[in-house]
Structure 1
Amino acid sequence: MHIQEWLESVPAVSVYLLVGVVIGLESLGIPLPGEIVLVSAAILAATQDHINPFVLGACATAGAIIGDSIGYLIGRKGGQPLLQWAGRKFPKHFGPDHVAMAEAKFDKWGMWAVFFGRFIALLRIFAGPLAGVLKMPYWKFLIANVLGGIVWAGGTTALIYSVGVVAEEWLKRFSWLGLVAALLFGLGSFLLMKHRAKKAAAAREAAESPVPATVD
């Protein structure tokens, strides 16, 4: 089956559910490629008439807000032991360096870390649980969560869909290239955050290492 025919056969409901569930689980604290899924789905909506971009954006927004809220409640109940457990289970995502970097962002930005964290791959996983662990007042978290979810999910869907409509004919002929571009974009943002976490860890180790005593 040609890829275009296969894309046309994908049920719209399954796309909406996939986007909402993946983004919700990522926001809850499970390391999943939410951004890649959303960008790919928005490209798909631009090339397939049966997928409604407004419904897609609404599902992505709902998944982001609900997932973050559940993550906040889990972090509030679990506290620091939860982060330690996650660090043992997922050291590449919840290691001490990642947690330290996320905590530094929260100390600096407060509730805005929840809002802006929505746009950063690594912080998107941490925002909800860490806000709960740090016992951020729920009303502050909720405002930042809702605004961040709407702007990130709705804005990403609208932007990618608009670009896709402009390049619709090209995308219909080379749909797989659009999906590859979305994959590379999401992977690139993740690797950038991972590099920054390693750099911050190296700087912290250098600062904490004892200075050798000099002998007169």
Structure 2
Amino acid sequence: MSFLAESAVIVESYIREYGLIALAATIYLESFGVPLPGESALVGASLLAARGDFSIGNLFLVVWIASVLGDSTGYTIGHFGGRPLLLRFGPRVGLTPERLVNVEDLFHRHGPTIVIVARFVVLLRQFNGLVAGSVAMPWTRFVLANIIGAALWSAVWSFGPYFLGDLFHKGWG
């Protein structure tokens, strides 16, 4: 079994046992770079909410807050130490100093859009805040985009499975 599949099984058992606090911890940690199956956990929790185990409104609110706080933590880490780490270790993953300049330019021109859209892309979601902080995206622009992106992402993955879960189950069941 792969690391992510094993993690999903573990996370699901914690959500069943500890409820929304376990989900909040998973989403928070994933949002600043820890490789956890946050989106999968959220889909599972949404289906549990559809079954009546959680309030969908509480689920959405917890996930939204956890994802905003997680990305903000990533931003803070990136702001206070990310650039030296990117310069030192970036070339190992193809982020050369020249490419870093391009990334900085992209964030300066399109930072809010990147922050909002990256929320929906695996890996970009996890490192979004770290990179934004590392390239000195202005805090106020980051926070606003982070709040909007987290709200959209949380809504899609909370309410989507909640309202559409039966359709998929009936279609494939």
- The one-letter code matched in structure 2 to 1:164 is G
Counterpart position of 1:199: none
Counterpart position of 1:26: 30
2-structure distance, mates of 1:149, 1:110: 15
Indicate conservation of the 8 Å contact 1:72/1:132, yes or no: yes
What do the CA deviations read for 1:163-216 (whole angstroms, capped 9, x no partner)?
125567x59xx7xxxxxxxxxxxxxxxxxxxxxxxxxxxxxxxxxxxxxxxxxx
1-structure distance, mates of 2:36, 2:163: 25
Indicate conservation of the 8 Å contact 1:60/1:154, yes or no: no
Counterpart mapping for 1:63-102 below 5 A: 63-83=66-86, 95-96=93-94
Indicate conservation of the 8 Å contact 2:111/2:142, yes or no: no
1:44 and 2:48 matched: yes
- The one-letter code matched in structure 2 to 1:154 is A
Indicate conservation of the 8 Å contact 1:115/1:144, yes or no: yes
- The one-letter code matched in structure 1 to 2:103 is E
Change (3 A) 1:85 1:38: farther
Counterpart position of 1:156: 157
Residue 53 of structure 1 and its aligned partner are, at CA, apart by 1.2
Counterpart position of 2:122: 121
Residue 31 of structure 1 and its aligned partner are, at CA, apart by 2.0
Q: Which has the larger radius of gyration?
A: 1
Task: Show structure 1 runs of 5+ residues with no match.
Answer: 1-6, 175-216
Counterpart position of 2:137: 136
Counterpart position of 2:3: none
- The one-letter code matched in structure 1 to 2:82 is G
Residue 52 of structure 1 and its aligned partner are, at CA, apart by 1.2
Indicate conservation of the 8 Å contact 2:108/2:137, yes or no: no
Indicate conservation of the 8 Å contact 1:58/1:154, yes or no: no
What do the CA deviations read for 1:124-179 (whole angstroms, capped 9, x no partner)?
011101000000110000010000011101222111100125567x59xx7xxxxx
Aligned residues between the structures: 156
What do the CA deviations read for 1:76-119 (whole angstroms, capped 9, x no partner)?
0003223367769xx7xxx235x959938646632211111101
1:61 is aligned, of 64, 70, 83, to 64
1:35 is aligned, of 32, 35, 39, to 39
2-structure distance, mates of 1:86, 1:163: 42
Change (3 A) 1:86 1:56: farther
- The one-letter code matched in structure 1 to 2:58 is V
Identity level (%): 33
- The one-letter code matched in structure 2 to 1:52 is S
- The one-letter code matched in structure 1 to 2:134 is V
Residue 39 of structure 1 and its aligned partner are, at CA, apart by 1.1
Indicate conservation of the 8 Å contact 1:42/1:157, yes or no: yes
Task: Show structure 2 runs of 5+ residues with no match.
Answer: 1-12
Change (3 A) 1:51 1:86: farther
Residue 51 of structure 1 and its aligned partner are, at CA, apart by 1.4
